[in-house]
Amino acid sequence: MNTDLQALKLVLDHLGVGTSIKNVSERKEKQKAIYLAKVFGIDLGYSYGWYVKGPYSPSLTKDYYELQETNSETTVTLRDDILKSLESVKNNFVQNNKRPAGMQTPEWLELLASWHYLRKVSKYSITKANEVMSTQKSHLSDFTAIAEEILPTT
């Protein structure tokens, strides 16, 4: 397994989302977790565009499918500073206690990643971002204030 795939596996494992991609929810979880890791400075080189379920990287899709087909043994390790950043991502995003009751991890990460993308990448106002969420992600639109509160302002 090449070092990029090994790094991807280690990051996914450390965030607690694993590498299984059996269904849409699991694949969505990987996309959004890696996007949010990038927000905290852990850039694995994936670029994102807006898609049906929010920020999406075709190259990440290719890599997590390739990861499924390769030996899962890793020979690389993550630096301490990266591990510390991943812990912040895990605590602030993946396991945040502000997650609405009953909302599963894939939807929670979709909310946070989508809101960040709309506000910080697309540079939409709160009003415009809410319009997009209401139109395209009505199942998450009631929770945008939580996302606005949690996400970094830069």
Task: Write the pLDDT tens digit of every residue in 48-80.
Answer: 999 989 999 999 999 999 998 886 677 888 889
Other CB atoms within 10 Å distance of the CB of residue 26: 16
Distance of CA 48 to CAs 19, 73, 76, Å? 19, 27, 26
Euclidean distance between CA atoms 92 and 152, whole angstroms: 10
pTM of the predicted model as reported, rounded to 2 decimal places: 0.91
Domain boundaries, the chain: 3-150
Euclidean distance between CA atoms 13 and 8, whole angstroms: 8
What is the model's pLDDT at position 132? 97
Q: pLDDT tens-digit profile of 77-111?
A: 888 999 998 998 888 788 778 899 899 999 999 99
61: nearest Cα among 35, 92, 95: 35
Distance, CA of 27 to chain centre:
10
